[in-house]
Structure 1
Amino acid sequence: MSKPEPGRVRHVAIIMDGNGRWAKKRLLPRALGHQKGVEAVRRVVRGARELGLEALTLYAFSTENWGRPEDEVADLMGLMKRFILSDLEEFAQAGVRLKIIGDYKAFKPDVVELIEGALARTAANTGTTMVVALNYGSHDEIARAARSAAAKGAITPETIAAELDTADLPPLDLLIRTSGEVRLSNFLLWQAAYAEMLFTDVLWPDFTVDHLRDAIAEFGRRDRRYGGR
């Protein structure tokens, strides 16, 4: 797997955490926290374009999220559908390409249909790639990649990397997690091997383009040695 280019940020990933806590602090329904989180997605995707990122990967729904209450899962699915219906055309016209990692086909047929329509609508775009992790878990991804590599021949780091969901993306440069939690939660474990990490106390609904810009500036101040001296 190739290493990121020193000093240049091409690919940023974000664990969007804190919607529920944002709502709880304000004595609001959890669903409203998720709604405000979608507004943050809009801001950050627009900012990623302006900042010239080649790829922005957002952790939207993990394989473990199925364990949440049914009404919360339904709210999340409803928000995703509304986001596609209301925002897809803006991003498509701005050159954004949508890519999904994870098994989105496990969702209900109407959600799958919307996702596949969005993928087709943006497939030819060459601007920033907006990568959305849906029903995604890194352990599952690595296991699938290893099986695919084994079916084709030798299993090496290079052959596994070539089978990952992110194989067509630039190497991951920077991984951000909001809300003060300091863990990766089964997200891009392979890809994060050489990535810089930044953990912020900012709750996801409050995250702005300025926070993204500051994170990229912090990245630029770090000395990346990739295990060397």
Structure 2
Amino acid sequence: MNSINHVAIIMDGNGRWGLKNYNSRNKGHKAGLKTVESIIKVSIKYKIKFLTLYAFSTENWKRPKSEINYLFKLLENFLELKIKKFHKNNIKLKILGEKMFSKKLNNLLINSEKLTKKNSKLQINLALNYGSRKEIVNATKKLNSRKLEINEKNISKNLYTSNIPDPDILIRTGKTNRLSNFLLWQISYTEIFFSNKLWPDFNEKDFIKIIKNFQKIKRNFGEI
């Protein structure tokens, strides 16, 4: 049976769910937070140590400003309400990406990371203003500036995910079968599961089913 150390998720379909059910993309983003909380509970139950959530990509800046502002306000409220609970439950928060937001949100992110940095039950990596191609380019630039050899080991050490194991599982919801510039370096041998459900409809049973299917897979990593 395969052990699971790290699960990464592309949480796709919030906007479409909101339009379908309430004629409002923002309603979908809000509903998606409930799914996040459910997935965190299952991750703890199955003793998964790392959960990486794709929350906002470098390409998402192309969305309407009103939607972007709502997303960030939603995140601010979530952190203000939940970060102390995360800390109490021994959950660590780490941000993957460049913090280029409002002063308030930047401070919330920084303080949340500081508060929870020693926690060890579950590490939630929140990919914000994240793009995998940019991440790889930035890592290469760091190596050049330090005059270090460009090899796989050194690149991995200089990614946002330094000291984080590569994902065992990548899940994408929303009936869209693509990677969308997410963890392209890290998922070389990750098992990928696509779900037709929109993110707010994805539930604990769906997640557990994927976990159990993964545990049965024969993983060869290039061998026979």
How many pairs are equivalent? Answer: 223
Do 1:13 and 1:56's aligned partners in 2 also have CA atoms closer than 8 Å? yes
Note the residue ranges of structure 2 that are not aligned, 5 or more in a row. none
User: Following the alignment from structure 1 to structure 2, what is the Cα–Cα distance between the partners of residues 89 and 208?
Assistant: 24
Partner of 1:65: 60
Task: Output one character per residue of 1:166-199: Cα deviation in whole Å (capped at 9) or x when no partner.
Answer: 1111221000000110000000000010100000
Distance in 2 (CA, whole Å) between partners of 1:162 and 1:134 is 20
Q: CA–CA distance in 2 between the matches of 1:15 and 1:86?
A: 23
Indicate yes or no: 2:143 matched with 1:149.
Answer: yes
**Mapped contact 1:60–1:134 kept (Cα < 8 A):** yes
Query: Aligned Cα RMSD in Å?
Result: 1.1
**1:95 equivalenced with 2:87 (yes/no):** no
Identity of aligned residues (%): 38
Q: How does 1:98-137 map to 2 (within 5 A)?
A: 98-104=93-99, 106-137=100-131
Long gaps (5+) in structure 1: 1-5
In structure 2, distance between residues paired with 1:41 and 1:169: 20
TM-score, with normalisation over the residues of structure 2? 0.96
* Offset, 1:28: 2.9
> Secondary structure at the residue paired with 2:187?
helix
Partner of 1:29: 24
Distance 2:109 2:91 in 1: 15
* Distance in 1 of aligned mates of 2:82 and 2:41: 11
1:38 maps to 33
TM-score, normalised to structure 1, is 0.94
Q: What is residue 3 of structure 1 aligned with on the other side?
A: none
1:77 aligns with 2:72: yes
Q: How far did residue 72 of structure 1 move?
A: 0.2
